[in-house]
């Protein structure tokens, strides 16, 4: 049903299901990471989360944020304060 998810590994960490999505390929870079965004979409579509917590701001933040209205979840990004 979700063929792209065969490329992903999932693991329960501290009670949360965590997906490890295959790293972007050269093809992903050529398509401006659209195919990588598709992998993220398949995970979110399958899981139907209430929220997505992301610890690092990366290029996939765009896809996660873009999909939050379509899939009805909240997207939270940890913004680290590095100055004391």
Nearest to 41 by CA among 17, 21, 15, 16: 21
The stretch 58-75 carries a mean pLDDT of 86
Q: Report the C-alpha gap between 52 and 34 in whole angstroms.
A: 19
pLDDT of residue 66: 86
Tokens of residue 10, six digits: 């999932």
* Model pLDDT for residues 2-24, shown as the tens digit of each residue: 566 667 788 898 998 888 877 77
pTM above the 0.85 mark? no
68 versus 29: the higher-pLDDT residue is 68
The three state secondary structure string of 4-71 is HHHHCEEEEECCEEEEECCCCCHHHHHCCCHHHHHHHHHHHHHHCCCEEEECCCCCHHHHHHHHHHHH
């Amino acid at each position: 049903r979700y063929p792209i998810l065969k490329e992903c590994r999932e693991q329960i960490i501290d009670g949360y299901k965590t997906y490890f999505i295959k790293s972007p390929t050269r093809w992903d870079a050529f398509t401006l990471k659209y195919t990588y965004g598709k992998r993220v979409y398949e995970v979110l579509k399958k899981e139907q989360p209430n929220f997505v917590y992301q610890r690092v701001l990366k290029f996939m933040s765009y896809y996660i944020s873009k999909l939050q209205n379509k899939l009805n979840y909240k997207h939270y990004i940890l913004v680290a304060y590095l100055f004391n």
